């Protein structure tokens, strides 16, 4: 899953939806869709700042997309996250788990006696009432 890039404008924490680059030789500001990779000489802008962009006097603004819409994680991103969580919950292949017991917890043999059911890496323990 790709990390969410934020708007480059100071004190703006909204997610970026557009990338601004300057072509100094042509006195042009180019505003396009969010670049795949963050470049050091480009600026990522949120939808609000992209729509309000103005260029210096005498410069031209080229908008490659008429409007920019904020997007959340894609369906593929959510599936990848679910697969990663599922994989992390699987026991390791070819052996039992050997984990150090933190201070204050009973030994694993006592935990097994109070365990009522288990699902993946989570387990439900009986209360002290029984």
> Does 72 reside within a domain?
no
Structural domains in the chain (count)? 1
Domain of 58 in residue numbering reads as: 1-66
Residue 93 lies in a domain: no
The residue with greater pLDDT, 7 or 110, is 7
116 pLDDT higher than 50: yes
Instruction: Decide if 77 is inside a domain.
Output: no
Indicate whether 27 belongs to any domain: yes
Position with higher pLDDT, 57 vs 92: 57
Which CB contacts under 8 angstroms, 24+ apart, belong to 18-27? 18/44, 18/45, 18/46, 18/47, 18/50, 18/65, 18/68, 19/43, 19/44, 19/45, 20/44, 20/45, 20/50, 20/53, 26/60, 27/56, 27/58, 27/59, 27/60
Choice between 32 and 73, residue whose per-residue pLDDT is larger:
32
Q: What share of the chain is helix, strand, coil (3-state, %, to 5)?
A: 25, 25, 55
Domain assignment of residue 18, yes or no: yes
For the segment 9-40, what is each residue's pLDDT rounded down to a tens digit? 999 989 999 999 999 999 999 999 988 888 88
pTM above 0.85, yes or no: no
Q: How confident is the model at residue 1 (pLDDT cuts 50, 70, 90)?
A: very low
């Amino acid at each position: 899953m790709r990390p969410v890039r934020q708007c480059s404008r100071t004190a703006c924490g909204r997610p970026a939806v557009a990338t601004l680059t300057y072509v100094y030789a042509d006195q042009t500001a180019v505003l396009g869709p969010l670049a795949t990779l963050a470049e050091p000489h480009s600026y990522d802008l949120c939808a609000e700042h992209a729509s309000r962009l103005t260029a210096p006097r005498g410069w031209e603004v080229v908008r490659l997309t008429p409007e920019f819409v904020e997007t959340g994680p894609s369906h593929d991103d959510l599936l990848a996250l679910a697969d990663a969580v599922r994989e992390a919950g699987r026991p390791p292949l070819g052996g039992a788990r050997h984990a150090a017991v933190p201070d204050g917890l009973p030994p694993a043999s006592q935990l097994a006696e109070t365990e009522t059911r288990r699902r993946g890496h989570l387990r439900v323990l009986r209360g002290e009432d029984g």
